[in-house]
Amino acid sequence: MADAVAAVIDTGGVLLAEAGTGTGKTLAYLVPAILSRNRVLVSTGTKNLQEQIFFKDLPVLRDSLDVEFTATYMKGRSNYLCLHRFESHRDGGAFRTRDDAHYIKLIDEWRRGTATGDRAEIEDLPEDLSFWNEISASAENCIGADCPQFGDCFVTRMRQQAAASDIVIVNHHLLCADAAVRQSSFGEVIPSCDYAIVDEAHQLEDVATQYFGISVSNYRIEDLARDVERALAAKLVSDSERAAELAVDVDRLRDRAREFFGALQMVRFDAAAPGAAGGSLLGGESRRRIRPQQLNRVADEGLALTGALQALEADIALGGAMPEDVVALGGRAVELRGHIGFLLRADDPGFVYYLEARGRGTFLRAAPIDVSGIIRELLLDKMKATVLTSATLAVDGTFDYVKGRLGIGRAREILLASEFDFKTQAILYLPRRMPDPRSREFGQAAAREIVEIVRRSQGRAFVLFTSYATLRDVHAVAARELEYPIFVQGEAPRSALLRSFRATPNAILLATSSFWQGVDVVGEALSCVIIDKIPFASPGDPITAARIEAINAGGGSAFGEYQIPLAILTLQQGLGRLIRHRQDRGVLAVLDPRLKTMGYGRRVLASLPPAPVTHGLDDITRFFDVH
């Protein structure tokens, strides 16, 4: 793999490299990247891998290669403190609670000594700190070189450091967010690079879909209104008459937003009616596809909201010489007005439009149906050489699927099997009989199988679900039947759940999509991974539905070309949680009977790790007795 990476850096082009877990692919691309003496951008799917590269792999290579090189580790802008906004927030004294005042003091002390401004350095800072968005260095709030703190800005310093570094380590979220704001003069943070390595590249399509879409929400409007109020409270608008007009504009904006998002809520419930185009997400989120004719019902409220934004924008523009903080608020109003207009027209055939409810938030969104052109234009075509790698990139032994989804034309290709011996390290359990996964009986049958498997593994299990409904069915039975500690997704933040699982003997974790990848538990603490169903993307999800329609309308077969390959890659990721080291041993289990009863099941089964297959629970007992 290192030879292949070195060759593509030397001669240019694209390399697709699937390297199974245990291959050592991170070192295999870092060594030629360092030895090339070029600045190389490394993008990962997770912050965990970023940290591994920066804090573990690069120090080893610095000692081993005897080559001087520099590296910078970059997170998204929202991870960093904005000194300018923090001082305004602190001096404004608008603390909502005693806890807020405590955290303001804590941040104030920390920011005087930190070299990075990365909030992760403050261990006592809650993940959900209520006011962090108001003091973070987000692109939306940045006023660029006009900022009085520009020279001391943590993002500016990080950017300067990256521009002088040989290896620049980012994640896909920052990569896509940065590309999405490059039309701005100061929004981007990643320096120009001619060489890129995209690790965990199987995640790139999803992340690009998120960042190259358009979204407005009641939260976004309220953030703007609150920032205008802060500017007025800080006396940034010296003309009292103009300040009074802006205060009226804010009240009007809030009223119009309340009416608009209230009307959207009614459209959302209408979209949920039987026969309507839509679908639902798991847990407390729901997404419903929406058509132009449905948005016509909120046209008047949308026009009134854009009018309120235009009035705010005009009063700022007519205010003469305003501070840059206030001018930036007018720019945000302009952008919001444009986004609302685009979303309400809902006439771009390249986008799917949908409504999403999350907590108290209502979001009107548009997502690109096909991001292949975007990825090709903004990443591949800008680089002299690009390496895309993952443990799961190929389907049916070829890269055709990922090439189509990511806009890749000609490419060098290399497939490297895992270093692990699945024939001795694992067995694959498929139950002899299970009800149809779409039937009501499946949840209870899955619960019985899971209880029996987990008794034999003595806990030490991840149980991964494709729906919360089955998770709830299984949890009700498992909590009654099993004596092992059970952790359930949603009970605590993901990182806290993983820490508890690792630290608790014989633990069981019940989880859905966010635990299928990017999770690493080495050793006996994880000795069993159970998956309830083949993880097909829900055809009721708006983005999935639009992609299925587009493929079929183009003469393709969405099920064979899109849904099955995507399910295979997701299933490989989920099962890949088990064997992470040569000493790991364990049982893989998939409860979905369609692996044996449906024609496509053979295709899915052929993609699974080459572990011996068993249908008997007693074989699980014998496996653990031996190991």
User: Which of residues 484 and 514 earns the better pLDDT score?
Assistant: 484
Domains 213-368 and 422-626 equal at CATH topology level = no
CB 553 within 8 A of CB 298: no
> What's the rounded mean pLDDT across residues 566-580?
91
What CATH number belongs to 213-368?
Answer: 1.10.275
Residues of the chain above pLDDT 90, percent: 69
Pairwise CA distance, residues 159 & 543, whole Å = 34
Task: Name the CA dihedral angle for 502, 503, 504, 507, rounded to a multiple of 10 degrees.
Answer: 0
Comparing C-alpha atoms, which of 49, 48, 43 is closest to residue 201? 43
Structure tokens, 68: 């001087």
Give the pLDDT score at 101.
86
pLDDT digits (tens, 9 = 90+) for 521-541: 878 889 999 999 999 998 889
At residue 367, the 3 state secondary structure works out as strand
Average pLDDT, the chain: 90
Nearest to 28 by CA among 37, 18, 38, 39: 18
Residue ranges per structural domain of the chain: 2-76+154-210+371-416, 78-146, 213-368, 422-626
The CATH label, of 2.40.50.840, 3.40.50.300, 3.60.21.10, 3.30.365.10, for the domain at 422-626 is: 3.40.50.300
Please provide the size of the chain in residues: 627
Per the listing, tokens 């070192």 go with: 27
**With contact defined as beta carbons under 8 Å apart, do 83 and 237 qualify?**
no
267-321 tens-digit pLDDT: 866 655 433 444 333 333 588 999 999 999 999 999 999 999 999 999 999 877 7
End-to-end CA distance of the chain, in Å?
33
Give the residue with greater pLDDT, 287 vs 143: 287
Model confidence over 39-94: pLDDT tens digits?
Answer: 999 999 988 889 899 999 999 999 999 899 999 999 888 899 999 889 888 887 66
Name the pLDDT band for 178 (thresholds 50, 70, 90): confident
| 90-94, 276-280, 548-552, 570-574: the lowest-pLDDT one | 276-280
Residue 269's pLDDT is what? 62
Structure token digits, residue 401: 């699927």
Identify the CATH number of the domain defined by range 2-76+154-210+371-416.
3.40.50.300
The residue behind tokens 């703190």 is 149
pLDDT at 93: 63
- What pLDDT was estimated at residue 125? 86
Kindly state the average pLDDT of the residues 225-231: 91
The three-point CA angle 205-206-208 to 5° equals 65
User: The whole model's pTM is what?
Assistant: 0.89
- Write out 515-575 in H/E/C secondary structure: HCCCCCCCCCCCCEEEECCCCCCCCCCHHHHHHHHHHHHCCCCHHHHHHHHHHHHHHHHHH
Q: What is the arithmetic mean of pLDDT over 118-142? A: 84
pLDDT for res 273: 44
Mean pLDDT over 397-402 rounds to 96
CB-neighbour burial class of residue 66 (10 A; exposed 0-12, middle 13-18, buried 19+): exposed
Q: Which of the four pLDDT bands, split at 50, 70 and 90, describes residue 21?
A: confident
